[in-house]
Structures are given as structure tokens and as C-alpha cells.
Amino acid sequence: VAADVVEPRYYQAILDAVEQHGPYFVLAPGLAMPHGRPEEGVKKTGFALVTLKKPLEFNHEDNDPVDILITMAAVDANTHQEVGIMQIVNLFEDEENFDRLRACRTEQEVLDLIDRTNAAA
């Protein structure tokens, strides 16, 4: 919201989706990628990455607790590539990158890790 990527209602749409469909976006141990649909308040394509000091429980049978959240927003279904989904997928193919990501303290450190991972892919 602060970066003017989504409207506040986007977050409510994510919460509503969890209520309806469960924690489908908890993709791996410790990793969740919550997202909504473009018409639910997306202004422009982007993503936010948060590492949590205190992990969250989403009631996912296999992958709780979660301490890495990547919230994605795309203006339409065809622009997910702009968000860098493939770069993010590459990042999490190596389990050691989970710990590297947790150790990042700045946005630049996260971007550098993503760049290094994709250069090696």
C-alpha cells in the first residue's frame, strides 16, 4: 500500500481467499506466497518480501510455521513474469537460500542474493 502497488482492499482479498480455500499459498517449509487477483485492488505489478522474527502458523499440514512471506501483485494474469516469479522460484530451489534470505538485512542484500542465484541457474 505504501509503495502504491495495491489498494488496502487487496489485503482483505488475501484474507478472504485464505478463509475460503485454506493456506494454499504456503508452498514450502517456512515459505508463503500470499496473493490476490488483479481486480482485487492491484494498481501496478510488484512484490513485497518479509522475513519474520516470530513465525506464523497458517494451519498448513506440512509447511508451518512460516517466517518468509512474499506477497505478489500483478495487474493481469499475463504479467506474473514481471514480478519475477521465475527468479523467486530459482531462489528457493536451493534450500540453503532460505537461511541466506533470513540473514539478509537490507533490500539490496535480498536483490543481490536473487541476482547471484539467477546467475548460477
Tell me the three cell numbers of residue 51: 522475513
Query: Of residues 21, 35, 60, 80, which has the active-site annotation?
Result: 35
Whether 80 is catalytic is no
Helix (H, G, I), strand (E, B) or coil at 90: helix
Q: Is 79 exposed, middle or buried (0-12, 13-18, 19+ CB in 10 A)?
A: middle
Residues noted as catalytic = 35
